[in-house]
A and B are shown apart, each in its own frame.
Chain A
Amino acid sequence: MGKVFRFNKDVDTDQIIASQYLLYPTVDEMKAHTFESLDANFASTVKPGDYVVADSNFGCGSSREQAPAVLKALGVRAVLAPSFARIFYRNSINIGLPAIVCDGLYDAVKTGDEIDLDMEKGVVTFGEQTFSCTKLPVHLQKILDRGGLISSLDEM
């Protein structure tokens, strides 16, 4: 079980991590500023295993990989939304952060609710309710199973 942090539609990567922090030398130095403009307390309250639940087109805008990277560094287990912007989605899978397409969940939960995600079954549980998630294409699931794209470079 993990706690939900809920965000609206069209959350862009500038809001996940703003430009002025991107050139900090490491992701660990950036992560305290995650979602700063939307929820100033996010970085200090999110715990490993918590979830980001959002409405459609999550992660639109800039290709900054720092956006999924700060979420992963803070321990976010998965991001769940009805749809993702393309580059954020690809970046998330590449670094080993599950970006899961899930309809209906956004409307059902609020920040602070507890949910559970079963990735293998593709099911989110919230109290008595369950929501099915779209399974990743095989190619992407393989990348995720390895913990990200970079590990495959070490296997070559």
Chain B
Amino acid sequence: MGMTIAEKIIARAAGVPAVRAGEIHTVTLDYLMSNDGTTHLTIDMYNKLRNPRIADKSKLVWIVDHNVPCDSPKTAASQKKMRDFARDNGITFYEGEGVCHQIMCEKHVVPGQLIFGADSHTCAYGALGAFGTGVGCTDYLYGMVTGGSWVMVPETLRFNLTGKLADRVTARDLILTIIGMIGANGANYHAMEFVGDGMKNLTMSDRISICNLCVEAGAKTALMEVDDITLAYLEAHGGRKPAACFKSDDDAVFEKTFDIDLSSIVPVVAKPHFVDNLAPVDEVKGVKINEAFLGSCNNGRIEDLRLGASIIKGHKVADKVRFLVVPASQEVYRQALREGLLDIFMEAGAMIMNPNCSVCWGSCQGVIGAGEVLISTGTRNFKGRAGDKNSFVYLGSAATVAASAIAGEIVSPYTY
């Protein structure tokens, strides 16, 4: 019996010839990523250990990205603890460089790896053919101290993609549609694998966007095969070489396979307060907005900024509406600067923020007040996610967000 990509990566990490879904294996981790959301607590636990030690510091990557720049004295204390510990222990450290998953994709992850990240959206690394999964700080600490962990091998849901997305329909519309279809726990404990002829029509940015959001269906990880598009991305980002390139075997066991024609996908939004509360954008047309957000690890790449800028060029942001544009990394920010995209956004009246998690996590920038409505390319629309518990977050694509910022209400991305 053959293996899925998820099984092959875990077998490699466990140092065994084969594994099967449902088994528990002890694995060696290739990377352990942690950000300022929880690292201060990890350090406190570390310092209480009887024999604190780091198995392999070269595997640790620490990234300050959630509250950047720092917003309060309490945050400052937590971030200082992280900064000092990284310095004292020689841990790879980034601050203000961008959202953690974007940094990991641009600089670190290679195909075939098994990676723990102390952040749920670590599943993004599947775009590069790596098994990324989110963990809490206790699991993180265990990995930091031992270099390994235990994992249960997940069953796989397979998505066979064909065709091509229509103009102004994005990979984000696709993955939101899939989450709406299978539900917020539709992939709980599972791997989601994306294959098919349609993959050749999806850029690396599209692929990261798809894999990144799979945790919103409960997935443990998301996975894609390595192809020329992946290899070209790795080459352009530091000439990185794969550790291993895996495809699922023909006789691998999938719990279920879904066939999706990309040309059938339409612009959608996820309505408050659940990511699977899906509607075609035309159904929510006319909902007044107070703020629009283009950014995040899901949708803050250069391709998203290009799409947003192409729509808002020559228009103005609606009166009394804030439009925050937040490149996902310094690389994206500088590229957008070179291409004149930031000028286009600023001419329209948008605010350009430094790379960070920003509005997506509702703690640092662009926080919304009671009764306010946000249209967002962020990852989540949970109650209170972007600020006050009585505010409302709609999730849409970069195109939908840009068009809505102009209109001052949710509109179709084809409006302008």
Interchain CB contact under 8 A, B218 and A60: yes
Interchain CB contact under 8 A, B75 and A14: no
Interchain CB contact under 8 A, A23 and B74: yes
The 8 Å CB contact of A64, one of B37, B51, B141, is B37
Give the contacts of A54-78 with B (CB-CB under 8 A). 56-57, 60-66, 68-69
Tell me, yes or no, whether B245 is within 8 Å of chain A by CB. Answer: no
Given A23-B67, A60-B184, A154-B49, A37 contacting B389 (CB threshold 8 A): yes
B interface, size bucket: 35 or more
Interchain CB contact under 8 A, A61 and B382: yes
Known: A62-B37, A153-B141. 9 other contacts (CB 8 A): A12-B382, A14-B383, A18-B384, A23-B36, A60-B185, A63-B118, A95-B138, A150-B142, A154-B49
Given A37-B389, A62-B120, A15 contacting B188 (CB threshold 8 A): no
Q: B274 contacts which chain A residues (CB < 8 A)?
A: 10
Interchain CB contact under 8 A, A150 and B141: yes
Tell me, yes or no, whether B136 is within 8 Å of chain A by CB. Answer: yes
Q: A60 contacts which chain B residues (CB < 8 A)?
A: 184-185, 218
Give the contacts of A73-97 with B (CB-CB under 8 A). 83, 85-87, 90-91, 94-95
Interchain CB contact under 8 A, A85 and B218: yes
User: A interface vs B, CB < 8 Å?
Assistant: 10, 12, 14-15, 18-20, 22-27, 29, 36-37, 56-57, 60-66, 68-69, 83, 85-87, 90-91, 94-95, 137, 139, 148-150, 152-154, 156
Given A149-B142, A150-B142, A86 contacting B363 (CB threshold 8 A): no
Stretch in B7-15, B39-47, B259-267, B408-416 touching the partner: B39-47
Q: A25 contacts which chain B residues (CB < 8 A)?
A: 40, 74, 77-78, 81
Tell me, yes or no, whether B385 is within 8 Å of chain A by CB. Answer: yes
Name the residue among A14, A62, A137, A152 with the largest chain B CB count within 10 angstroms.
Answer: A62
Q: B383 contacts which chain A residues (CB < 8 A)?
A: 14-15, 37
Tell me, yes or no, whether B21 is within 8 Å of chain A by CB. Answer: no
In the assembled complex, 17 residue pairs joining A and B whose CB atoms fall closer than 8 Å, in A order, are: A10-B274, A14-B384, A23-B36, A23-B66, A23-B72, A25-B40, A27-B41, A36-B389, A57-B218, A60-B184, A61-B380, A62-B119, A62-B120, A90-B139, A153-B49, A153-B141, A156-B51
A90 to B120: give the CA distance in the assembly, Å: 12
Q: A66 contacts which chain B residues (CB < 8 A)?
A: 38, 41
The 8 Å CB contact of B50, one of A69, A148, A154, is A154
Q: How close is A86's CB to chain B, nearest CB, in angstroms?
A: 5
Q: B74 contacts which chain A residues (CB < 8 A)?
A: 23-25, 29
Q: How close is B391's CB to chain A, nearest CB, in angstroms?
A: 10
Interchain CB contact under 8 A, A37 and B384: yes
Interchain CB contact under 8 A, A91 and B380: no
A152 to B138: give the CA distance in the assembly, Å: 11
Give the contacts of B359-405 with A (CB-CB under 8 A). 361-363, 367, 380, 382-385, 389
Q: How close is A70's CB to chain B, nearest CB, in angstroms?
A: 11
Q: How close is A131's CB to chain B, nearest CB, in angstroms?
A: 21
Name the residue among A23, A24, A86 with the largest chain B CB count within 10 angstroms.
Answer: A23
Q: Which residue of B lies closest to A22 (CB)?
A: B37
Tell me, yes or no, whether B189 is within 8 Å of chain A by CB. Answer: yes
Q: B122 contacts which chain A residues (CB < 8 A)?
A: 63
Interchain CB contact under 8 A, B382 and A94: no
A27 to B145: give the CA distance in the assembly, Å: 22
Tell me, yes or no, whether B182 is within 8 Å of chain A by CB. Answer: no
Name the residue among A19, A94, A148 with the largest chain B CB count within 10 angstroms.
Answer: A19
Tell me, yes or no, whether B220 is within 8 Å of chain A by CB. Answer: yes
Q: A29 contacts which chain B residues (CB < 8 A)?
A: 74
Tell me, yes or no, whether B112 is within 8 Å of chain A by CB. Answer: no
A65 to B139: give the CA distance in the assembly, Å: 10
Q: How close is A127's CB to chain B, nearest CB, in angstroms?
A: 30
Tell me, yes or no, whether B99 is within 8 Å of chain A by CB. Answer: no
Q: How close is B105's CB to chain A, nearest CB, in angstroms?
A: 18
The 8 Å CB contact of A86, one of B45, B137, B138, B218, is B218
Interchain CB contact under 8 A, A61 and B120: yes
Tell me, yes or no, whether B58 is within 8 Å of chain A by CB. Answer: no
Q: A22 contacts which chain B residues (CB < 8 A)?
A: 37-38, 66, 363
A5 to B189: give the CA distance in the assembly, Å: 26
A18 to B389: give the CA distance in the assembly, Å: 9
Q: B218 contacts which chain A residues (CB < 8 A)?
A: 57, 60, 85-86
A86 to B218: give the CA distance in the assembly, Å: 7
Q: How close is B51's CB to chain A, nearest CB, in angstroms?
A: 7
Interchain CB contact under 8 A, B184 and A15: no
A36 to B383: give the CA distance in the assembly, Å: 11
A64 to B122: give the CA distance in the assembly, Å: 13
The 8 Å CB contact of A63, one of B66, B136, B145, is B136
